[in-house]
Amino acid sequence: MTEKSKLRVFEAYANVYDALYRDKDYTLECDFLESIFRHFGMAHTENILDLGCGTGGHAIILAERGYQVLGVDRSAKMLAIAQQKAAAAELSDRVQLVEADIQDYRLNRTFDIVICMFAVLGYQTSNAEVFATLKSARQHVRAGGLFICDFWYGPAVLSQRPAERVMHAGDDRERVIRLVKPEIDTQHNVVKVHYDVLCLQGERLVEEFQESHAMRYFFKPEIEFFMNQAGFRLVHLCPFADFENRPSEASWNVAAVSQAA
């Protein structure tokens, strides 16, 4: 994927993103994050850096819980939606948003915790992109601080295999239909996900667009290697939102917790 095409990813998708993921349980996910904070002695965390923050699903809830959150995303449209949410919730003083690529940004400050949620790390498909993202994250977390991310887990992807599917959102007046066609590239540990999105008002088609998202999946040895090379130490790996168990071939989404050296 060229740099220009990467910048286009999510531009049209931003307008329907929240509708498609309206059932995503951000509250549960933030509960999970806070359980990690407590487990690793970070219960008194004050500031969080949210990489690939999108429309602010995690950032807004964390801000409501008293954290200062700075979100970084390369999609101006996503950030505009996040800004509207923060303003509506009267949280503009707790949520700061920056348009930038998570591989290369300079905030000139460090944070207690850096998060990279909803498999955003997987959008970095080459080794160089993964390392650049983790290296930049390390530069923005204080010594002893945490980096928390989730990603598609290689053993589960290869065991279950990605499948075509259809998602419906909305009601009889306004609907969004998303058709998903995945294509797995086992030579590069990448799934190319092709989206065809239809927006309808009643039975009338008002918009249709296509996007392709390349998603990398990871195995434990390589994610541990990347973390070590970037200056982190992998301290925990578990199925997402299931801290007590170990990943298996049934764990499509896995959470990794790393500590800054």
**Torsion sign, CA atoms 9, 12, 14, 17:** negative
Give the pLDDT band (50/70/90) at residue 1. Answer: very low
Give the pLDDT band (50/70/90) at residue 14. Answer: confident
Please tell me the CATH code under which domain 157-214 is placed.
Answer: 2.20.25
How remote is the C-alpha of 251 from its chain's centroid? 17
Is 223 in contact with 235 (CB distance < 8 Å)? Answer: no
Give the pLDDT band (50/70/90) at residue 9. Answer: low
Residue 3, pLDDT > 60, answer no
Residue 159, pLDDT > 60, answer yes
Judging by DSSP bridges, how do beta strands 204-218 and 190-201 pair with one another?
antiparallel
Range name among 6-20, 26-40, 71-85 with the lowest pLDDT average: 6-20
Q: What is the pLDDT of residue 67?
A: 98
Q: For the segment 180-230, what is each residue's pLDDT rounded down to a tens digit?
A: 999 999 999 999 999 999 999 999 999 999 999 999 999 999 999 999 999
CA distances from 68 to 38, 104, 112, 223 (A): 17, 22, 10, 28
Q: How do the domains of the chain map onto residue ranges? A: 3-152+218-260, 157-214
How much is the pTM?
A: 0.94
Q: Which CATH architecture has domain 3-152+218-260?
A: 3-Layer(aba) Sandwich (3.40)
Q: For the segment 65-96, what is each residue's pLDDT rounded down to a tens digit?
A: 999 999 999 999 999 999 999 999 999 999 99
Is 162 in contact with 193 (CB distance < 8 Å)? Answer: yes
Judging by DSSP bridges, how do beta strands 141-153 and 253-260 pair with one another?
antiparallel
224 residue type, one letter: E
Tell me the pLDDT of the chain averaged across its residues. Answer: 95
Q: Is 119 exposed, middle or buried, given 0-12, 13-18 or 19+ CB atoms closer than 10 A?
A: buried
Q: For the segment 113-147, what is each residue's pLDDT rounded down to a tens digit?
A: 999 999 999 999 999 999 999 999 999 999 999 99
Residue 15, pLDDT > 90, answer no
Q: What is the pLDDT of residue 8?
A: 54
Tokens 């980096």 sit on residue: 147
